Amino acid sequence: MGSGSGTLEHTADLGLWVRAESLEELFAEAPAALAELMVSGPRDGRLEWLPVSFQGVDYPELLVQLLSEVVYLWDAEGLLTVAAKVAELTPGTLEARLGVIPADYQVHEPNEPIKAVTYHQASVEPQGEGWKAQVILDV
């Protein structure tokens, strides 16, 4: 099956989907997929790993929290997420590290101005031999 990501049509908003072979891979791929949608340009630079921890009632809530952190890091801290590593993932807990690089506004061009990651139609579900997630982004 392999991993992948893409966009969904949605009225006045933008949808993002991510597919992977395992839940851990799905949660590791989703932050970089969102960052690719938000910002174009090279992904090289001084990589720093930031620990993140989230509590929620299910996988979709954890995914929304994780992706919201990616938006926050770009908008408020000037850090571009380029990778993620999952340490622990249960239906109620996510422990991970986000690999970030400092924004270089000479080469990092904004693509889609994401205001928020919404809970509307957020899903994380098994699909075939893997997993698929989707979220709706407020642009």
What is the chain's mean pLDDT, rounded?
93
Q: Domain span at residue 41?
A: 4-138
Distance between CA atoms of 9 and 32, rounded to whole angstroms?
20
Tens of pLDDT along 1-23?
Answer: 678 888 766 566 899 999 999 99
Tens of pLDDT along 59-94?
Answer: 999 999 999 999 999 999 999 999 999 999 999 999
Given a contact cutoff of 8 angstroms between Cβ atoms, the answer to whether 33 and 84 are in contact is no
State the CATH number of the domain containing residue 116. Answer: 3.55.10.10
Higher-confidence residue of 120 and 49: namely 49
Structurally, how many domains does the chain consist of?
Answer: 1
CA atoms within 13 A on the CB side of 39: 25
